[in-house]
Chain A
Amino acid sequence: MRGLRRDRCPLPGPVTGLTVPLSDLEMIGSNRSGRLTGESVTDPSWDQQNTDGPAIARALRLVPGGAFAVVRIVVCVKQVPDSWAEKKLNPADNTLDRDAADAVVNELDEFAVEEALQIQERLGGPDDCQVTVLTVGPEKAIESVRKGLQMGAGDGVHVVDDAIHGSDALATSAILAAAIERLAPDLVLMGSESTDARMSVVPAMVAERTGRPQLTFAGKVDIADGTVTVQRVTDYGYDVVEAPLPALVSVVEKINEPRYPSFKGIMAAKKKPVETLTLADLGVEPAVVGLSGSWSAVQEFAARPPRAAGTVVTDEGDGGTKAADFLSAQKFI
Chain B
Amino acid sequence: MPVHPLDLIAADSLLDEEELAIRDTVRQFGVDRLQPHIAEWFEAGTLPARDLARELGGLGVLGMHLEGYGCSGTSAVAYGLACMELEAVDSGIRSLVSVQGSLAMFAIWRWGSEEQKQQWLPAMAAGEAIGCFGLTEPDFGSNPSGMRTRAKRDGSDWVLTGTKMWITNGAVADVAVVWAQTDDGIRGFVVPTDSPGFSAPVIKSKLSLRASITSELVLDNVRLPDSAVLPEVSGLKGPLSCLTEARFGIVFGVVGAARDCLETAIDYSVNREQFDRPIAGFQLTQKKLADMTVELDKAFLLALHLGRLKDAGVITSEMVSVGKLNNVREAIAIARESRTILGGNGITLEYPVLRHANNLESVLTYEGTEEIHTLVIGQAVTGLAAYR
A301 within 8 A of B: no
Cβ of A145 to closest chain B Cβ, rounded Å: 13
Closest CB-CB distance, B165 to chain A, in whole Å?
Answer: 33
Smallest distance from the beta carbon of A147 to chain B beta carbons, Å?
8
**A89 within 8 Å of B by Cβ?**
no
Identity of the chain B residue whose Cβ is nearest the Cβ of A261 in the assembled complex: B25
Contact string, A255-290, partner B, CB cutoff 8 A, digits 1/0? 000001111101101100000000000000000000
Contact with A along B63-101 (1 / 0, CB 8 A): 010000000111000100000000000000000000000
- Is B375 part of the binding interface, using a Cβ–Cβ cutoff of 8 Å? no
How far does the Cβ of B89 sit from chain A's closest Cβ, in whole Å? 15
Indicate whether A150 reaches chain B with its CB closer than 8 angstroms: yes
Question: Do A263 and B64 touch across chains, with their CB atoms under 8 A apart?
Answer: yes
CB distance from A317 to the nearest CB of B (A): 38
Check B29–A267 contact: CB distance below 8 A.
Answer: no
User: Shortest distance in angstroms between A150's beta carbon and chain B's nearest beta carbon?
Assistant: 6
Residue from the list B58, B59, B61, B73 in contact with A267, Cβ < 8 A? B73
Determine whether B131 belongs to the interface, using a CB cutoff of 8 Å to chain A.
no
A264 vs B18: C-alpha distance when bound (angstroms): 11
Q: Which of A146, A263, A266, A267 has the most chain B CB within a 10 Å cutoff?
A: A263
**Contact status A262-B78, CB under 8 Å:** no
Known: A150-B21, A270-B18. A263 touches B28 (CB 8 A): no
Q: Which of B17, B18, B28, B72 makes the CB contact (< 8 A) with A262? A: B72
B22 in the interface (beta carbon within 8 A): yes
Main secondary structure of the interface of B (DSSP, over half): helix
**Is there contact, CB below 8 Å, between B25 and A267?**
no
CA distance in complex: A270, B25 (Å): 16
Residues of chain B within 8 A (CB-CB) of A262 are 58-60, 72
Query: Which residues of the other chain, B, contact A150 by a CB distance below 8 angstroms?
Result: 21
Least distance between A260 CB and chain B CB atoms (Å): 5
Give, as a whole number of angstroms, the nearest-CB distance from A259 to chain B.
Answer: 8
Q: Which residue of A lies closest to B28 (CB)?
A: A260
Please report the C-alpha to C-alpha distance between residue A150 and residue B61 in the assembled complex, in whole angstroms.
Answer: 15
Residues of B contacting A270 in the complex (Cβ-Cβ under 8 angstroms): 17-18
Contacting A at CB under 8 A, from B199-233, are none
Q: Are A263 and B78 in contact (CB under 8 A)?
A: yes
User: Which single member of B22, B28, B29, B58 contacts A266 (CB below 8 Å)?
Assistant: B22
Interface of A is mostly: helix
A260 touches B29 (CB 8 A): yes
A317 to B180, CA, bound (A): 79
Q: List residues of chain A with CB within 8 A of the CB of B29.
A: 260
Contact for B72 among A146, A264, A269, CB less than 8 A: A264
User: B64 — which chain A residues lie within 8 A by C-beta?
Assistant: 263
Q: C-beta contact mask, B11-22 vs A, less than 8 Å → 1, else 0?
A: 000000110011
* Chain B residues within 8 Å of chain A by Cβ, number: 16
Give B168-223 interface residues, CB cut-off 8 Å to A. Answer: none
CB-CB under 8 A from A263, the residues of chain B are 22, 25, 59-61, 64, 72, 74, 78
Which chain B residue shows the least CB distance to A269?
B21
Within 8 Å CB of A264, what residues of B? 60, 72-73
Instruction: Tell me the minimal C-beta distance from B60 to chain A in angstroms.
Output: 3
Q: With a CB–CB cut-off of 8 A, which chain A residues contact B22?
A: 263, 266
Contacts of B25 in A (CB 8 A): 260-261, 263, 266
Residue in A closest to B74 when the chains form the complex, CB atoms = A263
Residue of B nearest to A257 (CB): B32
Contact A260 B73 (CB under 8 A): no
Task: Specify which chain B residues have a CB less than 8 angstroms from the CB of A266 in the assembled complex.
Answer: 18, 21-22, 25
- CA A55 – CA B64 in complex, angstroms? 36
Distance of A261 Cα from B25 Cα, bound (Å): 7
Residue of B nearest to A150 (CB): B21
Given A261-B21, A262-B58, decide whether A267 and B28 contact each other with a Cβ distance below 8 A.
no
In the bound complex, CA of A326 to CA of B305 (Å) = 63
Q: Which residue of B lies closest to A143 (CB)?
A: B17
Which of A146, A261, A269, A270 has its CB near the most chain B CB atoms (within 10 A)? Answer: A261
Q: Which residue of A lies closest to B78 (CB)?
A: A263
Cβ of B76 to closest chain A Cβ, rounded Å: 13
Among B18, B29, B64, residue most surrounded by chain A Cβ atoms (within 10 Å): B18
Q: A261 to B78: give the CA distance in the assembly, Å.
A: 14
- Closest Cβ neighbor of A259 among chain B residues: B58
Give the interface centre of B17, B21, B60 by most chain A CB atoms within 10 Å. Answer: B21
Q: Please provide the chain A residues from 225 to 274 with a CB less than 8 Å away from any CB of chain B in the complex.
A: 260-264, 266-267, 269-270
In the assembled complex, the CB of A114 is this many whole angstroms from the nearest CB of chain B, namely: 14
Q: Please, how many angstroms separate the alpha-carbon atoms of A263 and B25 in the complex?
A: 9
A62 vs B15: C-alpha distance in the bound complex, in angstroms? 48
A105 to chain B, nearest CB (A): 11
B residues in contact with A260, CB < 8 Å: 25, 28-29, 58-59
Q: Which residues of B contact A261 (CB under 8 A)?
A: 21, 25
A79–B84 Cα gap in the complex (Å)? 27
B75 — nearest CB in chain A belongs to which residue? Answer: A267
Please give me the residue from chain A that is nearest to B57 by CB atom. Answer: A262
Within 8 A of B (CB), among A144-195: 146, 150
Which A residues are in CB contact (< 8 Å) with B18?
Answer: 266-267, 270
How far does the alpha carbon of A262 sit from the alpha carbon of B26 in the complex, in Å? Answer: 10
Residues of A within 8 A of B59 (CB): 260, 262-263
Measured CB to CB, the nearest residue on chain A to B33 is A260
The CA-CA distance from A270 to B18 in the complex, in Å, is: 8
Find residues 66-93 in chain A having any chain B CB closer than 8 Å to their own CB.
none
Distance (whole angstroms) from the CB of A268 to the closest CB of chain B: 10
In Å, the complex CA distance between A267 and B67 comes to 13
Q: How far is the CA of A269 from the CA of B74 in the complex (A)?
A: 13
- In whole angstroms, what is the CA distance A150 to B22 when docked? 10
Min CB–CB distance A179 → chain B (angstroms): 24
Which 4 residue pairs are nearest across A and B when measured between Cβ atoms?
Answer: A263-B60, A263-B72, A262-B60, A266-B21
A sample of 29 cross-chain residue pairs with beta-carbon separation below 8 angstroms, ordered by A number, consists of A146-B17, A146-B21, A260-B29, A260-B58, A260-B59, A261-B21, A261-B25, A262-B58, A262-B59, A262-B60, A263-B22, A263-B25, A263-B59, A263-B60, A263-B64, A263-B72, A263-B78, A264-B60, A264-B72, A264-B73, A266-B18, A266-B21, A266-B22, A267-B18, A267-B72, A267-B73, A267-B74, A270-B17, A270-B18
Which residues in B have some Cβ–Cβ distance to A below 8 Å?
17-18, 21-22, 25, 28-29, 58-61, 64, 72-74, 78
Known: A260-B58, A263-B72, A263-B78. 5 other contacts (CB 8 A): A146-B17, A260-B29, A261-B25, A263-B61, A270-B18
Binding site for B on A (CB under 8 A): 146, 150, 260-264, 266-267, 269-270
